[in-house]
Chain A
């Protein structure tokens, strides 16, 4: 074995565990979607929910190419929180626990628990009407058609 090959192999063996980091992104909206192309209203590849962790593959302007549950596609940057996560496996379950901590910390403050207490103090407030407003969804197809027929710009 020549000297340079020996040294290269050693350095490689040392650095592998130190460099096994990959970019990931946590979904920060209640629900969202990974889309076929990097534009709004493009066909949905897979639906995602709050705190789902997506693998980041690359970036295209305000869009991020990601992989989730075997599906590859695009998600807008405003729907996720990006972070480098240890995926080496050398540290055992560290990746999972780090994410749980992050999620737990993010959940502190004004959260569903606080809303529940506030609602019990104000039974007169109609939160069910607020729920109805939020549950009312406009399908992508209908919105795309509306935009097109009105001569508006596709987002």
Chain B
């Protein structure tokens, strides 16, 4: 009975901790959590939501140089092709979703805005000879979104500065000065990305990785992965490899073909469906 009484006392003490003492423990835990959140926030990467707002501004900047196609039928088709691939990517859902739009330009080009808005020029669509080739172009751009290559173009010092402002104001609304400073950093970040997308291009390894990932997406979606090679081959054959647009910002096409060949999946696609898809591609281009 003594043992039982002792055990009862110990349990009651524990019970006391769980009802009254735990409130204090809880307060301390809250403080620790707040401190931990602040510390974590101080070194956090750009969130998906922030990537979305960056992507919107990048899209707006691109639209200041190119006009949006009014061909609703073709835009709808390109969206169908793009979404058929993006749902097979590592990140089928982004904060704002994937959106595909056509730019009225004869230049061969495509741009992946952070967050999932992808532009492809009319020149690029016309350069493709089948739905599978168009899919290859879009798969390459979806890979850039998933790899966050646009975000990586932002100078590290900008984000470090942004985190300082966010961190010091994390517990309350930041004032107009903080907002103004953040907007300046935001503006600089957009400049970094647009410069990379339009002028300098991504690094060689980023492009090779995007091609490699594109092959994987095409295979998973049921498109013919060899369409990427076929598209690049024709660019060389047509002497377009030395022209501007995408060729100005991408590695030498012959090198890309080598990389694509090395990573080509062993599984192909059903040729009867490839023909069927080519027919619908042609019907949408008319």
Contacts and interface: CB of A to CB of B under 8 A. Distances in A.
A115 B11 contact: no
Interface string A91-104: 10010000001000
B71 interface: no
Interface stretch (B45-53, B120-128, B196-204, B237-245): B45-53
Contacts of B88: 153, 155
Interface in B66-120: 68, 75-76, 79-80, 83-84, 87-88, 90-97, 99, 101, 117
A101 B171 CA distance: 9
B220 interface: yes
B8 A153 contact: no
Contacts of B190: 118
Nearest to A86: B26
B211 interface: no
A106 B273 CA distance: 45
Interface in A101-155: 101, 105-115, 117-118, 121-122, 124-127, 129-130, 132-134, 136, 138, 142-143, 146-147, 149-153, 155
Contact of B96 (A30, A91, A121): A30
Interface in B260-286: 269-270, 272-273, 276-277, 280
A67 B99 CA distance: 29
B7 interface: yes
A136 B131 CA distance: 21
A68 interface: no
A76 interface: yes
A142 B61 CA distance: 31
A114 B101 contact: no
B276 A109 contact: no
Interface string A27-68: 011101000000011000000000000000000000000000
B84 A32 contact: no
B15 A150 contact: no
A150 B186 CA distance: 42
B183 A118 contact: yes
Contacts of A5: none
Given A3-B4, A14-B14, A91-B26, A110 B93 contact: no
Contacts of A151: 222, 269-270, 272-273, 276-277
A114 B48 contact: no
Contacts of A84: none
Interface residues of A, number: 57
B60 interface: yes
A106 B92 contact: no
A10 to B, nearest CB: 5
Interface stretch (B137-145, B162-170, B227-235, B250-258): B162-170
A97 B251 CA distance: 51
Contacts of B136: none
A114 B183 contact: yes
B84 A152 contact: yes
Interface in B175-190: 179-180, 182-183, 186-187, 189-190
Interface in A58-83: 76, 78-79
Contact of B93 (A78, A126, A142, A152): A78
B80 A134 contact: no
Interface of A: 3, 6-7, 10-11, 13-14, 17-18, 28-30, 32, 40-41, 76, 78-79, 91, 94, 101, 105-115, 117-118, 121-122, 124-127, 129-130, 132-134, 136, 138, 142-143, 146-147, 149-153, 155
5 contacts: A30-B96, A109-B47, A136-B75, A151-B276, A151-B277
Return the 6 tightest CB-CB contacts between A and B, nearest first: A151-B273, A155-B87, A152-B222, A153-B222, A110-B50, A125-B60
Given A40-B87, A41-B87, A155-B87, 18 more contacts: A13-B15, A28-B95, A29-B97, A94-B26, A107-B49, A109-B46, A109-B166, A109-B182, A110-B189, A115-B53, A122-B60, A125-B63, A134-B56, A150-B131, A150-B222, A151-B269, A153-B220, A155-B92
